[in-house]
Amino acid sequence: MPLSAASINIDDSVLVQRSQRGDLEAMERLILKYQGRIFNVILKISGNSDDAAELTQETFVKVIESIDKFKGRSSFYTWVFRIAVNLTLNYCQRNAKMATRSLDAEEDESDSQARQGLKDFLSDESAADPAVLAQRRELCDLAKQALLKLEEPQRAVMVLRDIEGMNYAEIADVLNIELGTVRSRLSRARSHLREVLEAMQK
């Protein structure tokens, strides 16, 4: 289960204040606290671990460089994710063609066993348990591929909600969009993901 946003904010303001005063240890603690989650979100959006590592690194460099400008109007949590997602979406836009080619190559490698597993998943009328699904590695690989088929804005909303566990208001804050846009974009993303998965099983 993803951590709730509220639980993350504990001590953030103190660490941020110390960082703004030049306390390197506080800044290191903030990096250590968020690096895993930032990396995971970036990876799920970008689909490449090397790129995700580089983008995560760039995110924290920007955070350190801009920590003095952080006024606390939003939480540090949403601020750091806003930097990360913006960097990632910009990167994805610049490398859209390359990402599509990479995805097509991976799709060809998916074997028939994985497709059968996906077919079972889609035809199952019962609600799937995430813990059980996580055990089915081939299904997860297909899900990652399907996720990358979505447009980046839809992918970002879905990752922030279903992987990072943000609520709609936090997603709206991170992506700087309206709450209604979050709602509709997330709905279309899930619907589209279902369609992509159905196309992949054929």
Q: Applying CB under 8 A, does 16 fall inside the site for other proteins?
A: no
- Which 64-93 residues touch other proteins, going by CB under 8 A? 64
Binding residue count for other proteins, defined by CB under 8 A:
53
Question: Per 3-state DSSP, what percentage of the chain is helix, strand, and coil (rounded to 5)?
Answer: 80, 0, 20
- Contact present, 9 and 77 (Cβ < 8 Å): yes
Task: Candidates 163, 177, 181, 201: give the one binding other proteins (CB under 8 A).
Answer: 163
- Check residue 130 for interaction with other proteins (CB under 8 A): yes
* C-alpha to C-alpha distances, 164 to 70, 77, 94, 143, 158, nearest whole angstrom: 22, 11, 24, 16, 9
Which position among 18, 33, 115, 183 is part of the footprint of other proteins (CB under 8 A)? 183
Contact between 80 and 63 under an 8 Å Cβ cutoff? The reply is yes
Distance CA 38, CA 194 (A): 26
44, 80, 170, 173: which one binds other proteins (CB under 8 A) = 44
d(CA 144, CA 133): 13
| Helical residues (DSSP H) of 110-175, grouped into ranges | 112-123, 130-135, 137-149, 152-158, 168-175
| Contact flag: residue 149 with other proteins (CB under 8 A) | no
- Asked if 123 touches other proteins (CB under 8 A), the answer is no
> Which residues of the chain form contacts with other proteins (CB under 8 A)?
2, 28, 31-32, 35-36, 38-40, 43-44, 49, 52-53, 56-58, 60-61, 64, 121, 124-131, 133-134, 139-140, 143-144, 147, 158-159, 161-163, 167-168, 183-184, 186-188, 190-191, 193-194, 197
